[in-house]
Structure formats: C-alpha cells, structure tokens
Amino acid sequence: MGGFVKAIRGAFLDFLADPFYKSQDEAVRFLPDGLLVIDGERIKDFGAFADIADGYAGVETTHYTNRLILPGFIDTHIHYPQTEMIAAFGEQLLEWLEKYTFPTEMKFRDKAYARKVADRFLNLLLANGTTTGQVFTTTFPQSVDAFFEACSERNICMIAGLTGIDRPGLAPPDYLDTADSFYANSKELIERWHKKGRNKYAITPRFALGSTREQLARCGQLKGEYPDTWVNTHMSENHKEIAQVAELFPEAKDYLNVYERAGIVGPRFTAGHSIHLSDDAFQRMSSSKSSISFCPSSNLFLGSGLFMLQKAKSVETPVLVGVGTDMGAGDCFSILRVLNDAYKVAALQDQKLSALKGLYLATLGGAKSLLLEDEIGSFDQGKFADFVVTNPRATSVLDFRAEQALIDVNATPEAQARERMEHEAFGMMVLGDERAVEATYVSGELLYKKPAVVG
C-alpha cells in the first residue's frame, strides 16, 4: 500500500462464505452505513461507519446515498472479439460459429482493429459493473497483445490467452493455427504478459472439437511448464458438438475425459457451459477442484440447454461455479441480466435462485471459481479495491416495486434494513441492467461514472 488514501461511504453488501451451503448470518455481510477505506489500489479498512470513521476523520470521503455498493462483478466466460456480432440471428452453436463467429474474428489479424475493439469491450464491461473477466481472444497473437495492452492501461484484472483451434474443417483455413504454432505463440505470450501488473494468462483451447490431440497435448505441456496459469475452454454445450467430440476421441469416456487425458483438468481449469454432464463428470469436476462457468443467457439464446446448477451446488458433488455472459453468444454485457436468466433456468428445474445466491456467484463465488478470492470478490482488507455502485431504484419500475416491500414492522431496525435490501436486490437482479450501474471502481480508481441525464 502507501498510495493516496480515500474513503467511500454507503450501504455495502458482500459475502464471507457460500450461501448455498452456509446460513445467511454466516455467509452475508450487509452494512447499511459502511465505510470502505482505500490506500492506493487496495482496501485498507472496512467496517460500519460508526465503528471506524473516527480513525479516518481527515480522509477525503465520497458518500453514495440510497445506493448499494457491491464487489465488482466477475464474468468468468466472455469473448472480446465477438463484441460487434452480439445478438446474431437464428443459429445454434456450430452453425453460429461458421456463419458469424469465424468471419468476425478473422478481422483480428489487424492489431489496430483488435485494440479498437478491446477498448470498446472493456469500456462496456465497466459500464455494466464488471471489473474482472475470463476472456477469449482469437488464434492471432496480436489480438492477445492488443487486449492486454488495453487492460494494462486500466490496471484491471483480466484472464486471457491465445485461443487455439487447429482441426481442419472446423474454421476457415486462414483462421486455424497448428499445435506447434499454438505452443510457441502461447509460450511467448505467457512470458510477456502473465502476472505482469494485474494481467493473468489462460491456456485456451477453444473446445475439444476444434483441437487435435497434438494441440491438446501442447496445452498439457504448457500447463506443466507454467502451472500457475489458468486453463479456459468450453465443454458439453450442445448435443451435436458432444456427439462429434465422442466420434473424434473414441478413447475418451466423455467430453471431460478428453481434457483429463491432456493433463489440463484441475484447479484454475474452467469449463464454460457444462450443460450436459453425467453424475460421474460432476463428481470428477468436484474432486479435481475444477470450475464451471454458468452462462444462462447464452445457453438460452443458442438453444443449448439448461445448466444443472442444483447439481453443481449440491453437497454430494460441490463444484466451483461462476457466471458468464458468454457475449457474443450471450446477448448482453450485464451480469445482472445474466442473473435474471439464471433465475429462470433454475425455475424451469423447480429450483429457486435468491438474490443473495445470485450475487454471490457474480462476486465472491466467481473469484473462488478462478482461485482469485485472495485478491478480489469481497471487501476484505488487502484486496484490490474493485467495486460497483448500484442504484436498486434506477428505473421507474424498480422504484415503484421498491416501495411495495413487505417489511416486518415488528423487526429490529437492522432486520428491517436487511429485508429492504434483499427486496431491492432481487428486483435489481431480475429487472436491472446497465442502467442500475452508477459507478465502477477498479484498483481504487473511478473508471466509469453513469452520465447525467439531461432534460
């Protein structure tokens, strides 16, 4: 620490444990009037205003009234080169890739173009309250350089890496790399970017269908050489895709086993989607401490299926889970809108996803799924000061709904404040979007402020 000290006052919500397994009293920390003290880019102190304010009487303080301050949202699965093709019409996964994705991503051979999109992409994330993402790039190394350069300028924590695909016929010939080029380029990019500032590198085979055994073996080699890197990929998203993977890898017992045989499954391995998993695959994901990125907006938009969140968060097969927009298969940049879809996916399976459980997945749950809980995800002392100021009454319908809260008049003032917070937070989760984001701070700096409404 040792930088400029400043403070933020307001209502704060974060998590101390997983509310899927712990009681709310154990898992949830809500301070109706709290103070967050920032020293440089990290959190110096945090607590109830009445308890700690005297110690910071001379510190410059920004007071957000009638707002709810949360740790920055964490998007565990998103594609920055797909920014311009969001909401592409009418196809499921494999046809969507052929018709829309690869032609768009071919543009990222041009580093200047890649940088232009990277800047726009990061600004859109910030406007939606997202402060960390696990991000796919393209097969072109310059697209990775452009992305990390943009991240470095913002001092923002992003996980990304060269996205490998070398199987002939799965993408245009000019888009394909090779097992050897993927290894050599990835190694060079790891040396250049991994843990330089807040940048973090992910070894990234796009999906098993797109990689030969040789490329997957190279992924395993890279993971052995750089064990503190992440691994980011897709798995079991679409029935047609799953069937083709089974044909290409008959020696593997299932989709997950393709990655297991390559030696890349374990902590810091994230499998996006993982919709159609067997009980045995869930058990192996749990035992290996791997993680899943739950991408409900994308899964609904492409008609891929319903992720079994209740199975992943069961006592029998607990799997680390974060949420992802999967933009551009997902139709938004907003984690709040993703949680709206997550609620509906759970409801279609006779499950209930509360606001507290949803916001946990978007904050500390996402951090834990990426093994970043020591750096981000809550307001604990020493973590990076990444947070979002939300307005639970940002729209007329949210404001009207908030007034209808059924509050127990016989409860203590503290209990009433919490009831109101939960009511408003659920409304924001189901009815909110980027309009609910008032401000976004990264490494203690205000990087996004909602424009004032004129007229």
Give the pLDDT score at 90: 81
Give rounded-to-5 percent helix, strand, coil for the chain: 40, 25, 35
**Does the structure show a pLDDT above 70 at 442?**
yes
**Does the structure show a pLDDT above 70 at 375?**
yes
Give the pLDDT score at 3: 67
pLDDT tens-digit profile of 384-415? Answer: 999 999 999 999 999 999 998 888 878 898 98
Q: Supply φ then ψ for residue 194, to 5 degrees.
A: -65, 120
Give the pLDDT score at 88: 86
The enclosing H or E element of 39 equals strand 28-39
Provide the residue type at 297 as one letter. S
**Does the structure show a pLDDT above 60 at 312?**
yes
The residue written with tokens 């009454």 in the block is: 393
Give the pLDDT score at 455: 57
Omega prior to 322 cis, within 30 of 0 = no
C-alpha 136/C-alpha 241 separation (Å) is: 19
**Does the structure show a pLDDT above 50 at 60?**
yes
- Between 89-103, 361-375, 386-400, the lowest mean confidence (pLDDT) is in 89-103
- Between 96-105, 162-171, 253-262, 337-346, the lowest mean confidence (pLDDT) is in 96-105
Q: What is the mean pLDDT of residues 306-327?
A: 98
Give the pLDDT score at 173: 95
Give the pLDDT score at 1: 47
Provide the residue type at 141 as one letter. P
Taking all residues of the chain, what is their mean pLDDT, rounded to a whole number? 96
The enclosing H or E element of 62 equals strand 61-71
* Confidence tier at 233 by pLDDT (50, 70, 90): very high
Q: What is the mean pLDDT of residues 147-152?
A: 98
Closest CA to 72 of 288, 403, 398, 383: 383
3-state class (DSSP) for residue 376: coil
Residues 6+ away with beta carbon under 8 Å from 38: 5, 6, 7, 8, 44, 385, 444
Q: What is the mean pLDDT of residues 372-385?
A: 98
Within a 10 A sphere around the Cβ of 411, how many other Cβ atoms? 12
Give the pLDDT score at 453: 72
Provide the residue type at 66 as one letter. N
Give the pLDDT score at 2: 55
The residue written with tokens 């976004």 in the block is: 440
- Between 43-52, 358-367, 414-423, the lowest mean confidence (pLDDT) is in 414-423
**Does the structure show a pLDDT above 80 at 32?**
yes
